[in-house]
Amino acid sequence: MTNIEQVKESIEKYFDITILTSKSNPESATAGKAFLFSLKKLNKNATLLEVDNASLEAAPKKITVKEPQADFLISIKEGGAKLSQLFYEKTRTGGLNLFLNTDGKELKKDDIILKPLKQKQFLITIGIDFYEEIPPNLREKPSFILNIDNRSINQSFGDINIVEQKKSLLEIIFKIIKALAISIFEKELREAQMGEAALFEKILENLQFKIKPNLLFSKLSHTDIVEATAEPKDIKFTLEKLCSGIFPFHNFLLLWEQNFSPLSVRGVFYSPDNQENIRIIANRFISQQKYNSVIFNTKEKEINRVEDQIINLLN
Query: Tens of pLDDT along 249-274?
Result: 778 999 998 876 678 899 999 988 78
Q: Is residue 300 included in any domain, yes or no?
A: yes
Check residue 161 and give its pLDDT.
96
Q: How far is CA 59 from CA 48, 233, 295, in A?
A: 9, 46, 43
Q: Is residue 141 included in any domain, yes or no?
A: yes
Q: Which of 46-50, 73-77, 190-194, 233-237 has the lowest mean pLDDT?
A: 73-77
Q: Is residue 42 included in any domain, yes or no?
A: yes
Residues 197 and 232 in one domain: yes
DSSP H helices in 78-168? 136-139
| Percent of the chain clearing pLDDT 90 (strictly above) | 40
Cα separation, 83 vs 104, in Å, equals 9
Q: Which of 66-70, 128-132, 165-169 has the lowest mean pLDDT?
A: 66-70
Q: Is residue 285 included in any domain, yes or no?
A: yes
- Give the range of the structural domain holding residue 197, as residue numbers without chain letter: 187-314
Residues 28 and 153 in one domain: yes
Confidence of residue 137 (pLDDT cuts 50, 70, 90): confident
**pLDDT at residue 195 is higher than 60:** yes
Residues 86 and 163 in one domain: no
Residues 12 and 146 in one domain: yes
Residues 17 and 122 in one domain: yes
Residues 9 and 137 in one domain: yes
Q: Is residue 259 included in any domain, yes or no?
A: yes
Residues 192 and 275 in one domain: yes
Q: Is residue 182 included in any domain, yes or no?
A: no
**pLDDT at residue 85 is higher than 90:** no
The whole-chain average pLDDT of the chain stands at 84
- How many domains, the chain? 3
Sign (positive or negative) of CA dihedral 68, 69, 75, 78: negative
Confidence of residue 57 (pLDDT cuts 50, 70, 90): very low
Residues 192 and 270 in one domain: yes
For residue 310, how many C-alpha atoms fall within 13 Å in the half-sphere facing its CB? 34
Check residue 146 and give its pLDDT.
95
Residues 108 and 232 in one domain: no
